[in-house]
Structure formats: structure tokens, C-alpha cells
Structure 1
């Protein structure tokens, strides 16, 4: 049986203390079958996608549906659809309550019924070695807007096809019925994997829903890894592992890789000379502009600050002086003045940090500023740093 709740009167077996009783068959058994999208569309109403247990009523946008269409065309696994099989006595048939996969099925219907026009997506361009390609300025990453399927053809079999054996087919601006027939056939024949569970206890459905959906959606830091080339990903990982980059973040934040955003934020502030906001969208859109030279310079400044951070043994004091945004401002100030003749030693740097941030500095008496206010905060921190060490 599936454990949905604990009941008094049922004994508990502890493996380390008790002798194991004879174990009979237990647990839920699911039957697994595959059906094509064509078969699904013959009777989509047998799948109930509006059950109250469903996670959300949020409607996917056209970009999300376009990504789904690309996955179907390219035969990418979209995950199993998990359902409860129930009897529909009135219709004398079986129905399937969708516990996990409602949005996927709903948007497959949207695609097949010609109810969506596929939209352009951002596609960053990489060379044959997987490195980001930049425009002539060497800073702006090259990207192409569209929804592309990589097509490989055999020119020997079809002389009407262009000479290139590989090309990208852009489906943006098209509906399902406007796709090439080969793409339509691929979508129609795509096999959905259905996991069917049979039970009558409503608590089991709730428990399964919790087991399958207890995780949280990917955050911006986790998602943007998909769009990074290896050099940028390695740079981010090297920087984010410094304890000072993790300052101000909770263990949960670090587990969810939020310190990756801190690392990219520092890199972007230095890359743009503090001419950038630090919202998640800005970080994602600008991260490809980070150059290898800036990575080395930023790491040098961050390691300097990290040594000071680690020298503070009093954890309460360390927390009062360092936060995500304070850390960014300090790294920016250190980087901007690192080559000055009278750059301070570690003890003087620590004293400046204590003096400047004991009242919050430019950070609202210890509270972190908003990402959009960082330009001003970083500027004020740098000016105070230069004035303190007579670098004017």
C-alpha cells in the first residue's frame, strides 16, 4: 500500500531494532503504455486535465508551446504523463485523471488544433568548439531570433533539395498545418508514455501529486545554465565557489544555485564598468558579453576580498558587514583601484569595510538595495573608497 497518512494502532518496524516480518506484495503498481499523439487526439476527452488536484491553471505562453513543438519534432523526451485510471459508468469507458502532465497534454491539443502560431526564440550562436560567437565589436554575443529545427538530408536521394546536407528550418510564424508534412507526421507519430495507476482512495491521489510535484520550478540561475558556453559556465563556477560570493545567501539559496547569479552580477558590473542593472532578465541577456580578460580581473579582485572575508572569525560580525549587494560593491571598488600605487593592505581594507558598512554605507543602514539601484550604490562605494585612501 501507499503511505498516505499515519494511523494509530499500526505497529512500526525499525530495521535496526526489530526482526523483519515476512513481507508481502506492497505498493502501487502502474501499467505503462505508449500512445501516439494521433491516437491521443482521437479521444482527448478521456484524459481529464482540469481535476482540482492539478498544480496550476496558468496558461502556457506561445514561447513555451513553441519549445514543446520543437521537442516533439526533434523527438526529445517530454516526460511521462501520470494518470489515475477510473471507470466512467455513464459512458461505459475508462477515463484518465491527469495527475502530472496536464499542461503538456493541453498544449499538444493547442498545437494540433492549429490554435498557436509558433514564435521566435533567442538562439545564441556557438562555433564548432562550442564557444560563444561575438559580433565585430568582440563584446556583443551573436544571437539569431527564430524557432529552428536542424534538418539533415541525403542529397543523393532527392536532387531537389539544396546542396547543404544540414540546414536550420525556422518554424517561427507558422502554425501546425503550415509545417512541412514531414514535421507534421513526426508530431502525429510521437509516442507519449502514459503511466496508469488504479486506486479509489482520494488520499492516494493527493499523496502521489505531492510525491511528484514537491519540488520547485527551476529558478533563473538554474535555467540560464542551458544558454552558457563552457567558458562562461566554468568562469561562473570558479567565482561562485568563493565563500565571499555566497555572502548574504541562505543554505537554501546556495542549494538552488542563487550564488551563480551573484557571480554573474559581479562579472557584469566590472565588464560594463558599472553601467548595468542587475535584474534577472538583464543578467541573462547580458551574460554573453563577459570577456575572458574580465573573468581573470574579477577573480583577482574577488579573491582579495575573499581573504578579508575569511579573516573575520566572528560570524555575526561577518554577516553584518557582507551581503550579496555589499559584496558586489566591494569587489567593484577593489577592481577599480587594484593597480593604484597606494592600494591598501588587508588590515586597512578591513578597517575601511568596518567603517563604511557599520552604518550601512550606501545600503540603507544594513538593508540590501534593490538590484535596479546598484549602479548608484556601487558608484558611492567606489567614491568613498578612493576618498578614504586618497586616490582622487
Structure 2
């Protein structure tokens, strides 16, 4: 498998800290009586401009990351790729489904009708001074279809000798453009975006009702991550005839590295060591671990599904399983390769939020805020699950590798 340029992305570990500071400052600004409304409107205007640019950029991000990801993943992998991709996608769907049922069972106990009324009755708060409509070049669904078509065709061309290299190089360079914009514009400005959102919620009076829900969702999501990782290792260990507790113990360095780096790609070297300690053969771990860092998204899906369900409950919107499961199935495809870029998973998910009724800017901003504060733990769950899958694949191919 060729080197993934996302491996070279360096993510500042202080992002979550900056987001929390932005939330705190935003709440303070919105509640101080001497802060004039025009100042709140300036912050809201900045958030609105960022939101417009984000909507323009997301289809380009999907094309840049997903096309390159697919073009890399299908390079000479054959049945091994197919089995790994199928297990990874299945695990992602199971993770999202698990999160939905836990969320619908537990969240209503603290997302009460009184809190819902406070949030819905608070209104939108201050309005921006002006907006700048930036029409995306493509619709998101069009971008997803184009990315898959281009990725598969480039992969097919590269399977032929001396063919497809120009298109592949173009894809690689466009991916670098996307990653550069994420690193230098989107991620640095996220705290400003979130500050404006929370200042407006604080000004409108809904922020404390939101925060009373926020921290409980955070704790439950982390517990779900840990439970799901344990389940994956229990199943993989039982299937492979290995001690699940030992597998979990060997995974701790990879988990902690992912929490610190917030990057599946940056955790690959440590995760390869964890796979080796779990007895996964070199051939399998060198293929499965980097591959699953791109396509196995169970941790991210648990977080996004939980936050989505919480928002739907907060705004008293429909949240049937059929509605959410279609959303989960779409994200399992659309987020391919996105977690390799900082903030990629939630940015890939934002265009699909209207599928479940999350349509307003305020709701989408809150969704981003909820997700990013838990992103490092979702990443840690993703990479831990990668090694559980590697144990299964190694068992499936054990005889072929020995021969």
C-alpha cells in the first residue's frame, strides 16, 4: 500500500483546550450585561461567514480525501481488501446502531421537557449584520458519487502498467490542497466559530440548558467507546483463540497515543507495535492497520450518532431508528479517508445532517461543538478497533500466510 500523505499531518494537541476556552469566553460574553448587542452581532457575523465558507469547502474536501483514499485502498488488495472493508463497514454500522439505542434509552432521562422548552423557546438570538452567500460548486451527494467514481477508475487504471499515474498525481495534489485548507483555515478558525455560537446561545438564554445536557452526553459517549472496544476485542480474541484481556492491555499505548494526537494516521506506528504484541503477522498488520485507519470509523460513528440523537431530542424532532440508520449507512461511506485529516469526520458529516432534520446553522454549530470536544476519544476508539479487526483477519489468513 502506498504512503498516505495524511500520515504527515500534524495536529496540534491543544485544539480541544482552545475549543473549551472559546466556549467559556462565549458564555461569559453573552451573559455580561455591559456587552452591547452590536458586539454579539459581530461575533455572529463572523460565525455566519465561516459557516458559508465551510458549506462551500465540504464538497471539495469529500472529493479530495475520498477519491485519494479509494484510489489507494484498492491497489492490488484483492480479496483481503474486500474482507477487511466489509468487516470495517459492518463494525461502523454496528457502532452507530449501538450508540442510537443507548442514546434513546438513556438521554431522555436528562433531556427533559423543561430543558427542551428552554432551548426551543430561546430563539435564534442575535442576527448577523450581513451574510455572504457562497454557493458550493457541487451538491454533497454529487461530490460523494464523483469521488467514488474517480477513485475506483483511477485504481483500475493504476492496475494496468504505466496507466492512470497522471490522474493519480492530480488527485494527490488536490488532496494536499484540501489538507492545507483544513490545517491553515478551517481548524484554526473553529474556536472563533464556536465562540460566536456560544456567545449567541448565552445571549439568547439557552446556553445553560444546553450545557446541562452537554457534559452528560460527553461521559456517556466515552463509556460507549470503551464498551464497544471491549466487545470488539472479546469477539476477535474468542474467534482467534487469544485472551481478550491481554489484547486490550496491549492496545493501551495505541489508545493513549490517539487521545493525545487526535489522529488515526499519526497513531499508525504505535498501533503497528500493538498489533505485533497481539501476535498479528507482519504481512497482515502492515496492510490492515493503515487501511483501517482510513475506513474503520466505529468510534467516530458512535460520537456522531450520539450527538445527533441528543440534538434531535433537545429540539423535539423525530428520531426514529429508520431515519438514523439511513444516516449512519451514508456516513459510513462518506467519511472514508476523512478522519485522516483534522476535523475531517465531523466536516464530512455536516452536509448530511439535514437528512435527520438538523438544518439550522445554530444546530449544526452545536453539533460541531459537541463532536470536537470528544474527537480524541472517538479517534482512540477507531484505532483500537483497527487492531481488533487485524486479529480477526490474521486468523482468517493464518494458513495462507504460513504456506
What range is the shorter-chain TM-score in? under 0.3
Bigger relative contact order (CA 8 A; separation at least 6): 2
TM-score relative to the length of structure 2: 0.22
Structure number, greater radius of gyration: 1
Greater strand share, 1 or 2? 1
